[in-house]
Homo-oligomer: A and B are copies of this chain.
Amino acid sequence: MNNANKISAISFTDFKSVARALTVVENDLPGAADLLKNLRFDKEAPIIGITGPPGAGKSTLVNALIHQLTERGKNVAVLAIDPTSPFNFGSLLGDRIRMTSHFNSPNVFIRSLATRGSLGGLSAKTIEMSDVLRAAGFDYIFVETVGVGQSEIEIAGLADLTLVVLVPESGDEIQNIKSGLMEIADAFIINKADRDGADFFVNNLKKLAGEKHKSIAVIKTVASQNTGIEEVINLIEKPNGQKTERRALLLTEKAYSLIRQRRMANVDKQNLHRQIAELVDKKDFNLYSFVDKW
């Protein structure tokens, strides 16, 4: 069986084939490059990025979305990114476990990916693995990550549509929202909207979004009670396909990140550090001459 045959066998109807392909790509096993180059995207399934601070209810929201989409006969894949940057405290395992109600569904494929958070760049693995899921023919691909450090910016570079999940209390940090999230969000989902201050926050967000002349949707949900989920689904189902220009921009960011990852693949920081540790105390050590040899 040659590679091309193997590849054509990656299908949402055979989870094992998907899991295998993801493992090949994640670990850069032999055949990974060919696998990627032979991916075919017959369906234009959207990649939907979901981000937000810890505790906003991202996983519960994804859970509720999955529930309604599978009821409609859709096939859904979830790539759950665990950023393991030094700025991320605590495990996200709790979140993951909440998603397990769908683990045995034949229509829902869930995979976790720990990235060391290639700060500020798109992680090549995230790009590659979400493309494998697209090629497998799922109807929707959710990429979920907790919004710490730069991960929410990363997700916006990857996703066709980015949902930023907040809670009413997030209003206290409106400054952060102003200066960052507003740039990346296609929609704000105000979850746990039965809590105090939800309407006030929603109105403020709508005003801010308006100021920037962007059409950012603001939707209230109580994901744990399936409230407002319909409206989110209407948003992600919007029939008007993605504009060529936006697709080109996304692909440019992806291409740049992939090129960088490939060019830097043989530069190992530990190795660099070993070499530098030996040289650092020498009087004539010059960083620029050192770098030239790499």
Contact = CB atoms under 8 A, between A and B. Distances in A.
A86 B37 contact: no
Given A150-B150, A263-B263, A288 B39 contact: yes
A9 to B, nearest CB: 18
A276 B288 contact: no
Contacts of A71: none
Residues of A contacting B: mostly: helix
B149 A259 contact: no
Contacts of A267: 256, 259-260
Interface string A234-247: 00000000001101
B276 A255 contact: yes
Copies of this chain in the oligomer: 2
Interface stretch (A114-122, A136-144, A199-207): A114-122
A262 interface: yes
Contacts of A183: 86-87
A249 B264 contact: no
B280 A244 contact: yes
Contact of A249 (B39, B88, B260, B273): B273
Contacts of A87: 153, 179-180, 183
Interface of A: 33, 36-39, 86-89, 118-121, 128, 131, 148-150, 153, 172-173, 178-180, 183, 244-245, 247-249, 251-252, 254-256, 258-260, 262-264, 267, 269, 272-273, 276-277, 280-281, 286-292, 294
